[in-house]
Chains A and B, each alone.
Chain A
Amino acid sequence: MTFADALIIWPSSPALSLIVELIIAVILLYLARWPVHKAIHSLSTIINNGLRLMARSVLIAERRVVERNKEVLLSAGAKAAERLLEREFYRVDAVVKRDMSAYPALQRKIAEQITRIDEDYRESTEMPVPPPDWVKAVDTLAKLPTRGDSWIGNILNEIHKTAAAQYKNTMEEYRKAVRVRHSLLERMMPYWRKLSQTLDQVDKTIIGLHERSKVIDSRMDEYEEIRKKSDKAARMLSSSAMTQFFISALVLLIAIGGAVINFNLIALPMSEMVGGGSYIGNFKTSNIAALVIILVEVAMGLYLMESLRITHLFPVIGHMDDKMRTRMIYVTFTILLILAGVESALAFMRDRIAADMQALRQTLAAVTEAQPVNSWIPTVGQMVMGFILPFALTFVAIPLESFVHSSRSVFGSGLAGLLRLSSFALRLLGNIVKYLGEFLINVYDVVIFPPLWIENLIRDKTHVGDVAEAIVNEEVS
């Protein structure tokens, strides 16, 4: 006897049994209506409240992350702005030291030039002595008509000759004086030019300083915004961090490409040193050794950049005294140089092994060996690459620093976004559960609609009866 069979009250008429059972079920459901409604409502409310609480917690966490992110951004931005300002001030200081220190000498020079120009000018202004006034009187006399008197004529002729001679002398002296003036004025020209050049130089320096001061002003404005912790500054820095993140990631990808080439250059010859058939885990020892060499090169590059104070990833190195730092520069550079030499040698060895393998393959394939054309070119090329790549990898430190710094803010923003999304999803889920509860209550009522309908009918009747009774009572009273 199955469970279904047990449910049939009258086996002869299962339909009737089913109808009776359905009626019983509906009545039972009707009787249990309020407790079931309450249960569904409480369950949906509990879940909804729980989810809302979770959403709120997530939102609080998101706010904290955003605040922390902003703090990180502003702190990094302030440091960067301070560094930029410091650099600008250094530049101004350098300009002032270079140009302004020479200003007393320049001033003296200008004063000397002006004095000389002044002297020359004064000298040039001394006019030659004009012909005496009596010459004009004598000249007038000499030009008087003789009226037939020969001695008067002679006297006048003599006077005329004397006047002419005097005039000639005077003119000669005048010309000489003018020549001297001109020569003096001509001598002034280079001084004028020099003076003009010196003043131009001063002008350029002043303009340069003026422009630099404008840059400082703009940097100071930015710095003030950061110090004020304004949203504008945070937005600006966030955008800048995002740009830096992507650019540095791109450069790092390029560097990884370089490292892969470097790896391929030294992996094969490394098997000559550490053995081609040995493994560490699932990886060839030669491959791991090649990778370690590359990583050591990168690490040395990082230390070198730190020691040179180009990057600031390791405060320990940055805080070292200059003597120790210089030693570190020499040590790291020497190690890099040695590793570059080793890589160059390995690249040479790789070329030889590859050529040998190629020859062997050709022998095995019974193909006549092809004569290599200018075989020294790839050899030298590989050796040069092997030598240069370690130094090129040194510069990975710069994008790496940018990447590390910018990734803090970018990942922070990403985390905040994720938390915001989670909060929204939790709230949405809470609302869905809440309305699902209401929906279930309505569905429950739909299932037990016949007794509900009867209940409504009875209630309406009772209500009408009560109202009629109340009216009658009112009329009686």
Chain B
Amino acid sequence: MKRLLALSLISISLLVSGCPDTTTHSQGVYMLLDSSGTYRKEIKRAQAIINYLLGTLQSGDSLAVARIDSGSFSEKDIIVKTTFDRRPSVTNQQKRLFKQKVDDFVAKAKGSAYTDITGGVLQAVEYLNETGAGRKHILIFSDLKEELAKGHIRDFPIQLSGCKVVALNVTKLRSDNIDPRVYYKRVEQWKERIEAGGGEWRIVNDLERLESILAD
């Protein structure tokens, strides 16, 4: 009888405290917001995506939102980042705070002269590797038109192994309308670059189907 009780208690305590595996199942999401030029008007739509992510991600997952500006390879460009607590109640509080910070940013967002997408992606990879998440997603909310400031060097291969890069709401520019090949070429270049770095590439332009963003 005592043996049985002891065994039950040991098994419960083992299960409650023992051998948890937090790395492989957690998700890390890094969202890059393009705030340059005409795309700044689209930022309100990004808010809906962030809200969706907040509703979808769970305890143990990581989420960061950063802006794309003239030089995006910097921690200063991260608007808000968090790794959700293992307790759901604390996670809910963190999500509320996160939303508040994003709302503040959207209200005060200023446009930038240049668009350093590559720098943002590099920063995203760095952050996601640090989180140790099992599944890493980089969401690029941009028209994918990169414009670098003079002296910025970005034409080198990016290491993106294990990362899924999703381009969201890739709008067509006026020049794309004149010659759609420009748009396709731009998208294709990014695809090649991401896949060359070992990442997976996907475009989601229909924001009504947000569930496809984090789909495997």
User: Which residues does A use to contact B, with CB under 8 Å?
Assistant: 268, 271-281, 285, 288-289, 292-293, 296, 299, 303, 324, 327-328, 331, 335, 352-353, 356-357, 360-361, 363-366
List of B residues within 8 angstroms of A357 by Cβ: 88, 92
Residue tally, chain B, CB below 8 Å to A:
34
CA distance A288 to B21 in the complex (A): 13
B89 is an interface residue with CB less than 8 A from chain A: yes
Q: Which of A268, A280, A299, A331 contacts B21 (CB 8 A)?
A: A280
Is the beta-carbon distance between B92 and A356 smaller than 8 angstroms? Answer: yes
Q: Which residues of B contact A328 (CB under 8 A)?
A: 1
Whole-angstrom distance from the CB of B92 to the nearest CB of chain A?
5
Verify B86–A363 contact, CB threshold 8 A: no
Do B88 and A273 touch (CB < 8 A)? no
Which residues of A sit under 8 angstroms from B16, Cβ to Cβ? 273-274, 285, 289
Which residues of chain B come closer than 8 Å to A292, judged between CB atoms?
11-12, 15
The answer to whether residues A277 and B55 also contact, given A353-B88, A357-B92 and a CB cut-off of 8 A, is no
A303 surroundings in chain B (CB, below 8 A): 4
Mark contacts of B92-112 with chain A using CB atoms, 8 A cut-off: 1 yes-contact digit, 0 otherwise: 100110010000000000000
Closest 4 CB pairs of A and B: A277-B60, A276-B59, A275-B86, A278-B20
A275 and B20: CB pair below 8 A?
Answer: yes
Min C-beta distance of B63 to chain A, whole Å: 13
Determine whether the beta carbon of B15 is less than 8 Å from that of A285: yes
* Majority DSSP secondary structure for residues of B touching A: helix
- B residues within 8 Å of A by Cβ? 1, 4-5, 8, 11-12, 15-17, 19-22, 24-26, 51-52, 54-55, 58-61, 84, 86-89, 91-92, 95-96, 99
Across chains A and B, the number of contacting residue pairs, with CB separation under 8 Å, is 95
Do A276 and B86 touch (CB < 8 A)? yes
- B100–chain A nearest beta-carbon distance, Å: 10
In the complex, the answer to whether B95 meets A280 with C-beta atoms within 8 Å is no
Minimum Cβ distance to chain B for residue A259 (Å): 17
Question: Given A271-B87, A357-B92, A360-B92, does the pair A277, B22 have CB atoms closer than 8 Å?
Answer: yes
Which residue of the partner chain A has the closest CB to B26? A277
What is the distance, in angstroms, from A338's C-beta to the closest C-beta of chain B?
12
On whether the beta carbons of A277 and B19 are closer than 8 Å, the reply is: no
8 A-B pairs within 8 Å (CB atoms) are namely A276-B86, A277-B61, A277-B84, A279-B25, A280-B15, A285-B16, A303-B4, A365-B55
A147 to B: closest C-beta gap in Å = 123
Residues of B within 8 Å of A289, CB to CB, are 12, 15-16
A352 and B61 alpha carbons, distance in the complex (Å): 22
Measured CB to CB, the closest approach of chain B to A262, in angstroms, equals 16
